[in-house]
Amino acid sequence: MFLPSGVPLSKRIFDLMLTIPGMILVSPILLIVAVLVWIYHGRPIFFSQRRPGYRGELFKVYKFRTMTDQLDRQGHLLPDEKRLTRLGRFLRSTSLDELPELYNVLRGEMSLVGPRPLLVQYLGRYSSEQVRRHDVLPGITGWAQVNGRNVLSWEDKFRFDVWYVDNWSLWLDVEILALSLWKVITREGISQPGYATAEEFMGNEAVDSEQ
């Protein structure tokens, strides 16, 4: 349970005050979901992947699996939307798939609130302004998530992320957590039309050429 250099101590204490009792409180749910994933998806129960975190440092993020490993005739993985199961859709719509990330928060690799940790290959595609989203710990939920989540364009997501970096406060974190609970209840912004979650960010030049 370390404190990365540059992360406000008050934010870390706030995270631990909510995460430690929170993990105890949701432990029965974690067990139930783990059993369901094992039954419907098989092993491994958890999805893990290297993601860039604070200041771009890589860490391994953990989630419950929401997809199968189904292959096409050539032995390649099917598209995400075809591998996403009914159980997986439910876990994503309720954000239950994100619960294992509490372990990342406990380890100090993530915060409860912050920009979502995205794919490693995106690091070289950000503008100098967008890369500032890594000036804070990544979060389970964030300002972009309560302002549209996956229905937002990549430009809007990054704009909200950088705004959070510049305007962070504990009160803002409290507000975002409260709004996130409402978003989970209403199940808003879970995915972009035609995608299991959102289309891949190809960089600003690719985006500009489409406009």
The tens digit of pLDDT for each residue in 63-72 reads: 999 988 777 7
Would you say residue 209 lies in a domain? no
Would residue 22 count as lying in a domain? yes
For residue 210, tell me if it sits in a domain.
no
As a whole number, mean pLDDT of residues 44-60 equals 95
> How far are the Cα atoms of 28, 58, 126 from residue 120, in angstroms, in the given order?
32, 8, 11
Count the Cβ atoms, other than its own, within 10 Å of residue 165: 15
- Residue 1 domain-assigned (yes or no): no
Write a three-state SS string for 151-186.
Answer: HCCHHHHHHHHHHHHHHCCHHHHHHHHHHHHHHHHH
Q: How far is CA 70 from the centre of its chain?
A: 23
Residue 165 covered by a domain: yes
Number of domains in the chain: 1
Model pLDDT for residues 151-182, shown as the tens digit of each residue: 888 999 999 999 999 999 999 999 999 999 88
Answer yes or no: is 206 within a domain: no
Q: Which domain holds residue 174?
A: 9-191
In a domain, 129, yes or no: yes
For 188-201, the pLDDT digits (tens) are: 655 555 555 678 89
| Within a domain: 163 | yes
174 Cβ contact list (under 8 Å, min separation 6) = none
CB hemisphere CA count around 143 (13 angstroms) = 22
Q: Report the C-alpha gap between 115 and 106 in whole angstroms.
A: 17
